[in-house]
Amino acid sequence: MIVSLFQRARLAFFVLTLSGCAGSYTHTLNFNPSEPIRIAVLPFAQVNDKGELIRADGDLLIDNVALVSSHLKQTPSQFVQTEVQSELSKASLDVLTPGIVEAALVHNGFTVPGTKPVELDLTKVFAAAPHDICSKLLSCDAVLYGKVLKWDRSYYGVQSVSTVAIELKLISAHNGKVLFATNAQDSDSRGLTKGPTGFSNIVIEPIKGLDNSIITALADDLVEKSIRPLRRDAKPEFLQVAPPAIIGAAHSAEGGRIKAGGKLTVVALGSPALTGTFSIGTAVIDIPLAERSPGHYVGEYIPLPTDQFEGQQVTVSLRDAAGRVTQLPLAGSGVSFR
């Protein structure tokens, strides 16, 4: 009787361990993510339990379960890197084009000699100082390093568990400070813990759980949660304050014409402490509006002698820290200058 109870408890513990639903995410953020700093994402690496860089295993994503899975051409580190790059495009960071970063590394001796196609020497890449990368190779403010700490698929007969762990570090090229760091690990399981709906499914579902679509979806989710602190729309204050409002705006061009040697003054009244700009059609874009007193914005456009446009609509925009923009096209038939 006692033995049976002990066995049940052990099974329950086993099942709970395998289900592995709760991921662990640790973030450090030491800068204002709405500041448009330029970052270079360096090639990601995979590391072993000791933290040593290991050569990417090209077979890791090629599953051995025929007919239940499609073939992916990337290694775990390449896959996670592309996911991170895609997620970063949703943040307000200015991410250098991956092709340009790779070209700069290839051109500056960060390759394994004699490899064809050319292979990057990750040990050398990770050993390079961010300052050197941003000043000598590229033009950037910070460097993002990424490591895949874990990429496991385990099969236990009635259960299969996929686990992914990553580490990301954004280092300032100016002072070497860690601007952002995240350490994340998460798991997903198929089989007993997910409630098989028939006896055959007890056997089939754990096998289907080895499909690379499960682990790549897990990695996708993990990356999305890891990058979330950098996304402006994910900041908690996003939902706590009202979006920008423009109560009224006007410009100074009488009859819609800016006189030679004159200027166009635009005033707007709206929500205070925001970033204001105005544009004149597509001819003049994003002239800043200065907030002279709370909610009162003033800006001036001074035409250059070469400027010329006809009947362009003036539009005032206010943007908040969460990236939300409110625009107000000014009444009238637009302004002209020649």
Contact residues: another protein, CB under 8 A:
32, 34-36, 38, 67, 73, 82, 85-86, 89-90, 94, 96-100, 102-103, 106-107, 118, 139, 190, 193-198, 201, 204-205, 208, 220, 263, 275, 277, 282, 284-288, 290, 292, 298-304, 306-307
The least distance separating another protein from the CB of residue 238, rounded to whole angstroms, comes to 15
Task: Select 4 or 89, whichever has its Cβ closest to another protein.
Answer: 89
Report which residue type is found at 277.
Answer: T
The least distance separating another protein from the CB of residue 29, rounded to whole angstroms, comes to 16
The least distance separating another protein from the CB of residue 298, rounded to whole angstroms, comes to 6
Query: 327: number of CA atoms within 13 Å, CB side?
Result: 10
Quick check: helix, strand or coil at residue 21? Answer: coil
Q: Please, is 113 exposed, middle or buried when counting C-beta atoms within 10 Å of its C-beta (0-12, 13-18, 19+)?
A: exposed
Quick check: helix, strand or coil at residue 136? Answer: helix
Which residue, chain included where needed, has tokens 């993002």? 144
Report which residue type is found at 194.
Answer: K
Task: Select 48 or 157, whichever has its Cβ closest to another protein.
Answer: 157
According to DSSP, the β-strands at 142-155 and 38-41 are parallel
| Residues 6 or more apart whose Cβ sits within 8 Å of residue 158 | 191, 192, 202, 203, 206
Quick check: helix, strand or coil at residue 113? Answer: coil
Task: Select 137 or 183, whichever has its Cβ closest to another protein.
Answer: 137
The whole-angstrom separation of Cα 40 and Cα 100 is 9
The least distance separating another protein from the CB of residue 216, rounded to whole angstroms, comes to 10
The least distance separating another protein from the CB of residue 5, rounded to whole angstroms, comes to 25
The whole-angstrom separation of Cα 291 and Cα 276 is 8
- Read off the tokens for 273: 């402490």
The least distance separating another protein from the CB of residue 41, rounded to whole angstroms, comes to 10
The least distance separating another protein from the CB of residue 1, rounded to whole angstroms, comes to 30
Task: Select 9 or 285, whichever has its Cβ closest to another protein.
Answer: 285
Task: Select 163 or 277, whichever has its Cβ closest to another protein.
Answer: 277
Task: Select 4 or 64, whichever has its Cβ closest to another protein.
Answer: 64
Task: Select 7 or 94, whichever has its Cβ closest to another protein.
Answer: 94
The whole-angstrom separation of Cα 286 and Cα 153 is 50
Helical pair 76-88 and 212-227, crossing angle rounded to 10 deg: 40
The least distance separating another protein from the CB of residue 209, rounded to whole angstroms, comes to 9
* CA-based nearest residue to 330, from 310, 309, 316, 311: 316
Task: Select 79 or 145, whichever has its Cβ closest to another protein.
Answer: 79
